[in-house]
Amino acid sequence: MVLTIDETELRDALECVRTELLQAEHVLCTDFSFDLAEPNYVRALSAIRGAAGYECNFERLLLTLFRTKEVSEEPLAYLMHKLRWEGVRQELEKDRRALEYPILHARPIDRILEAYDDRWENREFYQHL
């Protein structure tokens, strides 16, 4: 049985994910620590899973945060390693193809795409993967 949530609960879940990822980004930029950022990722995942059926809303949020450079590739890589959303993968592949100089500018996108693999190299830095 899938439970539905109302518009306010969805908005709250989206804001929770946004806040957690921005806090994680702050940790990454100040403490340079993947493991200290992981609790933020876990809370973001919990909010996403609590709003089942609204994947497209979260995909849009995550891609916007990344494309506007509010968050780096690491938070998205972690989440995509867990969630494996094809919509995000397809959008990132489209972004990569649109780059004029992918060899110079595609590395952040490639790092997220690499996280779709079970053998993702950053996996070793986290406890909850």
pLDDT score for 3: 57
For 44-67, b where at least 16 C-beta lie within 10 A, e where not — what string? Answer: bbebbeebeebeebbbebbbebbe
d(CA 31, CA 129): 21
Q: What's the one-letter identity of residue 116?
A: Y
Structure token digits, residue 36: 């200290």
d(CA 81, CA 13): 20
Which pTM does this prediction carry? 0.93
pLDDT score for 127: 92
Average confidence (pLDDT) over 100-127: 96
pLDDT one-digit tens code per residue, 53-112: 999 999 999 999 999 999 999 999 999 999 999 999 999 999 999 999 999 999 999 999
The DSSP symbol for 71 reads: S
pLDDT score for 5: 84
pLDDT one-digit tens code per residue, 19-32: 999 999 999 999 88
